[in-house]
Structures are given as structure tokens and as C-alpha cells.
Amino acid sequence: MAQLIDGKALSAQVLQQVAADVALLKAEYGIVPTLAVVLVGEDPASQVYVRNKLKRSAEAGIGSREHRLNRDTTQQELGQLIEALNHDPEVHGILVQLPLPSQLDEDVVIASIHPDKDVDGFHPLNVGALAAGRDTLVPCTPQGCMIMLNQVYPDLSGKHAVVVGRSNIVGKPMAMLLLQANCTVTVVHSRTQNIAAVCRNADIVIAAAGRMELVDADWIKPGATVIDVGINAIEVDGKRKLIGDVAFDSVFPVAGAITPVPGGVGPMTIACLLLNTTRALKRQLTAHPDKASVAVAANG
């Protein structure tokens, strides 16, 4: 039977670390790390995600700014807001909740966020830095997965990891982080042949396909670690239920360790967003030491 990797408990530990960092930054520089969250339109899932992010920010002592724009917002209007946030010295992280309404070009929006404030780690410069193995702001979900994996393997060196999915926000950065940790990495996707056989060779399977219960026991080598990134919402008896990309009941007896859905990768993603917000501020203080001295002077 598998060890359950508890994302709720682990994220609470990360949030404690964030709260300690916030206290230190406040004491040393008189600055409260602040996250601006931009939500365009009324997508119900996005509204839930934004609410949770703001709630956790407040709990960790992170300041927040909420910018709600209507569904018909133009590229220019959104661009102007991001430009203002880029220049606002009291905003250290900027998150634009995706997906955006269809009239808006996500690539343009992501590229317009200042890379030092890009707490999602989606800006092309940060993507490139991650690919080059440099220290940078890393996408939150894969970062959370790495913390979970380190619970099972403090040293991931030489492990064979299979990532199911190749999106820019999960699959690709996940593969980069695993490579950096010296894993042997295989990325499989919708066009891959014999996926189950590829996964059966893996010590680690990261499921990020957005396909409900795609991964079952036949895909998993006994004792392997299974990280379930998938969030698939269904209705059961009129209630919203979240199901992962892993058929949990089938895989649990075979795997060595597994994450649940909900209560697995989800809470870790939010915790890593807040971790990135304090990191973003630290990077800005290092890049602009004058900002640190000005803040200290202003606060006596």
C-alpha cells in the first residue's frame, strides 16, 4: 500500500516558511511582499482559484491587490494595467489568472509582465533561464511537485521520471526541474505510442494530462511514486467533485507513494505562488539595492 503524500500538511509547512520570510523582510527592510492578482471576466473556476490565492496570501502576511476587469477588457486596457503594476514599487509579484477571454492574447500578456515580478514563472526569459538551469522564478505547480517528490526521495539522482503531458505551465517546466535534479526524464503526451508501457518503466510518474483517471494500476511499476496534477471537475448528486488524472483506488495498492486529489498538488501550487512572491521581492532587492536602502530609510 502506498504512502500518502499529504499536500495540505506539506503546504502548511511551506506557508510557515513564507510567513517567516515575510516577517524577516518586514523587519529588515520595512517592506511587505505584495502580490497583485488580475482576473478578467467571471469564469467560475478562476474566481475560486483567485479567492483561494488571496486567502492564503493574507494568512501568510503577504499583501495583496485584487484587480477585477470585465469580460470585454481590451488588450490595450489590460496592457496598461500590467504596465502600471510593473512600475509600482509597492507591487512585487503580478499574477494574471488564466485562461483569458478569447479576445486577449495570452502570450502577449505573459510577455508584458516584468520578469522580476513574474511569480507564475511563465515569462519567456524565466522559461529560458529555467531551461538553461539558472536560478529563476519557476512555475508554481512543478515546483510544488518537486517538494512533494523530495519527501519520498531526498536525492532524486538517477531516478527515471515520466511526465504525462507537455504543457508550458506543467509538463515542460516539470521535465526541466526533474532534469536539474539529475533524473532521467521521459515526456509522454497525446501522440505517444504505448504510454502505459513507458510509464511502467518509471520510478516516478507525474500525471498532468487533464484526463480523468487516465493512469491506472497497469501503468505503474510496483513501488513507484505517483504525483497527480490533474484536476477534473464533475458533478455528483448536484455537488462539484474533483477527480485527478490517476485512478486513485486502482493505483494506491501498487504505488510506493501517491498524492491525493483534492489535497495533493493543488495546495502546494498556492503555497509555491506565495514562496515565489517573497523570492521575487528578494530578487528585486538584490537587483536594486537602492530600493532596499530607500525602504529602510523611509521606515526609520
**Would you please indicate which residues are annotated as catalytic (active-site) residues?**
53, 97, 120
d(CA 150, CA 46): 29
214 binds ligand NAD (CB under 6 A): yes
For residue 124, the SS3 value is: helix
For residue 95, the SS3 value is: strand
283 binds ligand NAD (CB under 6 A): no
Among 61, 165, 173, 260, binds ligand NAD (CB under 6 A): 165
User: In whole angstroms, how close is the CB of 104 to ligand NAD at the nearest point?
Assistant: 17
Hey, which bits of 111-176 come out as E strands?
Answer: 160-164
Toward ligand NAD, which CB reaches closer, 113 or 207? 207
61 binds ligand NAD (CB under 6 A): no
Cell representation of residue 165: 503531458
Toward ligand NAD, which CB reaches closer, 36 or 164? 164
- Which of the residues 178 through 197 are near ligand NAD (CB under 6 A)? 188-190, 195
Integer Rg of the chain from CA: 20
- Which of the residues 253 through 272 are near ligand NAD (CB under 6 A)? 265-266, 269
274 binds ligand NAD (CB under 6 A): no
230 binds ligand NAD (CB under 6 A): yes
Cell representation of residue 238: 448536484
User: In whole angstroms, how close is the CB of 110 to ligand NAD at the nearest point?
Assistant: 14
User: In whole angstroms, how close is the CB of 260 to ligand NAD at the nearest point?
Assistant: 11
Toward ligand NAD, which CB reaches closer, 104 or 199? 199
Among 17, 75, 180, 232, binds ligand NAD (CB under 6 A): 232
167 binds ligand NAD (CB under 6 A): yes
DSSP 8-62: HHHHHHHHHHHHHHHHHHHHHH----EEEEEEES--HHHHHHHHHHHHHHHHHT-
96 binds ligand NAD (CB under 6 A): no
d(CA 76, CA 81): 9
Hey, which bits of the chain come out as E strands?
Answer: 3-4, 34-40, 63-69, 93-96, 160-164, 184-188, 204-207, 225-228, 232-236, 239-243, 257-258
Q: List all residues 6 or more positions away from 287 whose beta carbon is below 8 Å from its beta carbon.
A: 116
Among 30, 210, 256, 263, binds ligand NAD (CB under 6 A): 210
User: In whole angstroms, how close is the CB of 203 to ligand NAD at the nearest point?
Assistant: 19
Toward ligand NAD, which CB reaches closer, 35 or 81? 35
Q: List all residues 6 or more positions away from 142 whose beta carbon is below 8 Å from its beta carbon.
A: 170, 173, 174, 176, 177
200 binds ligand NAD (CB under 6 A): no
| CA 123 to each of CA 24, 68, 158, 168, 198: distance values in angstroms, whole numbers, following the listed order | 28, 22, 30, 11, 31
Toward ligand NAD, which CB reaches closer, 82 or 265? 265
User: In whole angstroms, how close is the CB of 178 to ligand NAD at the nearest point?
Assistant: 15
Among 25, 175, 208, 280, binds ligand NAD (CB under 6 A): 208
Q: List all residues 6 or more positions away from 152 whose beta carbon is below 8 Å from its beta carbon.
A: 3, 5, 225, 256, 257
Residue ranges in contact with ligand NAD by CB under 6 A: 141, 164-167, 169-171, 188-190, 195, 208-211, 214, 229-232, 265-266, 269
